[in-house]
Amino acid sequence: MFNKPRTTAILLALPLTAFILVTFVAPLGSMFMRSLYDPLVADIMPGTVAALAQWDGTGLPSEQVYALAARELERAREERTIGKLATRLNRDTSGLRSVITRTGRALKRKGGAPWSESLPTLHAAWGEPAIWQALARTGARVTPVYYLNAVDLTFDGSGAIVRQPEERRIYATLFIKTLRVSLTITLLCLIIGYPVAYLIAQAPPRQGRLLLVLVLVPFWTSLLVRTTSWIVLLQQQGVVNDLLVWLGLAPDDQRLTMIHNMTGTLVAMTYVLAPFMILPLYSVMRGIPAVQMQAAASLGASWPRAFYRVYLPQSLPGVGAGCLLVFILAIGYYITPALVGGQSGQLISNFIAYHIQTSLNWGLAAALGCVLFVAVLLLFLLYDRVLGIDRMRLG
């Protein structure tokens, strides 16, 4: 009948479920949609796109297609959607923007049947197959083109998948760079974090708490404040350079460039992410009984040997958790590289932001985001296969 505890449980879980749906599932879903589904051209020029589906892709289409295109361009101009159409086509082939907008402007004054003759007089591009191929390509509602672009591939005129011309290849390089930087940062965090966590775990409770607070206070401080404080430290007229010059280690006119480049990104991100390494490590290390090391020593093991055979294996779940946390956070990091990365220190997320905010190519931004998402997911699965996710301990 009426199961009261169960209803209560469902009701209690409802806000959280709704929250996850609204803030996590829905945005991810809509982003995924955007990266694949692009109905713009098909919506503005439905007749032309449908007619072009019958076209063999070589030579020029029939008068009927020309007439449809002319009518739909004129309507787009009246409804002021022609600019969006032009932008979309221009993304496919640079130069089509002005073909579309100029044709739109001249259509009423100078156009007329037969359209296969009058359209090319408005703009010579209508007499070439390229623009029709572009219309056919972009007319598909579901398109893999954003994913192709996200890995530096594209369609050529005949619809075959080819690599982007060399001068336009960015994203594959950036993905690899982002992975490399994230791995470097993870490694740096581990090298810095392990001894710190060890120290905190080994220290007497009072000092241990103090050390832990020293880790936590910056962790609780605003990310922006911590990032910009690195600018104060590392800039050319900054504290570190002043110190080096004062000590005579660097001449005044050759101050080191340590910020607004990759060095800045590495330093600041390692610093910002270090607590995510230290905290899981510490919580695991705290659970390792100190007597075990003493027992190993009393059985004749030197300290390095005891550490290697007894302590290190037991701390591995913490290492795994810390590395996974730091790596996944680093791979999507955006604010710190944007502030201190200059040009060479930009990562893939900065370009996603660029396409969202500046170029307004949201399809490409979504595809880049999805590629990143899948990459993280794969790494996570790999981690699970190799180390086992159930062995991970976050504290």
In whole angstroms, the minimum distance from the beta carbon of 131 to other proteins comes to 13
User: Under the criterion CB under 8 A, does residue 169 sit at the interface with other proteins?
Assistant: yes
**Residues 324 and 355 sit within 8 Å (Cβ to Cβ):** no
Stretch that binds other proteins, among 188-196, 282-290, 333-341, 376-384 (CB under 8 A): 333-341
Interface of this chain with other proteins, residues 352 to 371, rule: CB under 8 A = 353-354, 356-361
Answer yes or no whether residue 137 interacts with other proteins by CB under 8 A: no
Among residues 99 and 189, whose Cβ is nearest to other proteins? 99
Asked whether position 332 contacts other proteins by CB under 8 A, the answer is no
Contacts to other proteins from residues 25-64, by CB under 8 A: none
Cα 35 from Cα 81, distance rounded (Å)? 21
Count the neighbouring beta carbons within 10 Å of the beta carbon of residue 315: 21
CA angle 278, 281, 285 (to 5 degrees): 130
Which residue lies nearer to other proteins by CB, 163 or 169?
169
CB 266 within 8 A of CB 188: yes
Q: Which of 35, 48, 101, 265 binds other proteins (CB under 8 A)?
A: 101
Question: What residues pair up with 153 in beta bridges, in sequence order?
Answer: 163
Which of 1, 3, 94, 299: binder of other proteins (CB under 8 A)? 94
Closer to other proteins at the Cβ: 23 or 294?
23
Q: Is 314 in the site for other proteins (CB under 8 A)?
A: no
Burial class (CB in 10 A: 0-12, 13-18, 19+), 191: exposed
Compute how many residues bind other proteins; rule: CB under 8 A: 54
237 contributes a contact to other proteins by CB under 8 A: yes
Alpha carbons 379 and 326: distance in angstroms, whole number: 13
Q: Does 261 engage in binding with other proteins (CB under 8 A)?
A: no
Which lies closer to other proteins via its Cβ, residue 81 or residue 202? Answer: 81
Residue 161 phi/psi, 5-degree rounding, is -85, 125
Least separation, in Å, of the C-beta of 319 and other proteins? 32
Residue 173 φ/ψ region, left for φ over 0, alpha for ψ in the -120 to 50 degree band, beta for the rest: alpha
Cα gap 129→143, rounded to integer Å: 21
In this chain, which of 81, 118, 202, 261 binds other proteins, going by CB under 8 A?
81
Residue in 143, 270, 283, 346 binding other proteins, rule: CB under 8 A: 346
Bridge partners, 375 (sequence order): none
DSSP one-letter code for 301: -
Question: Position 26: which residue type?
Answer: A
Name which position in 71, 74, 87, 376 contacts other proteins (CB under 8 A): 87
Choose one: 29-37, 63-71, 140-148, 236-244; the region binding other proteins (CB under 8 A).
236-244
Q: Is 343 in the site for other proteins (CB under 8 A)?
A: yes
Q: Give me the least distance between CB of 368 and other proteins, in Å please.
A: 13
Residue 222 binding other proteins, by CB under 8 A: no
Give, for 348, the enclosing helix (H) or strand (E). helix 348-357
Q: Which residues contact 116 (CB under 8 A, 6 or more apart)?
A: 60, 62, 63, 66
Distances (CA, A) of 95 to 91, 162, 209, 227: 9, 20, 64, 41
Q: Map tokens 């594959």 to a residue.
A: 172
Is 168 a residue that touches other proteins (CB under 8 A)? Answer: yes
The site for other proteins (CB under 8 A) is made up of 80-84, 86-87, 90-91, 94-98, 101, 167-170, 173-174, 177, 224, 228, 231-232, 235-239, 242-243, 245-246, 260, 334-335, 338-340, 342-344, 346, 351, 353-354, 356-361
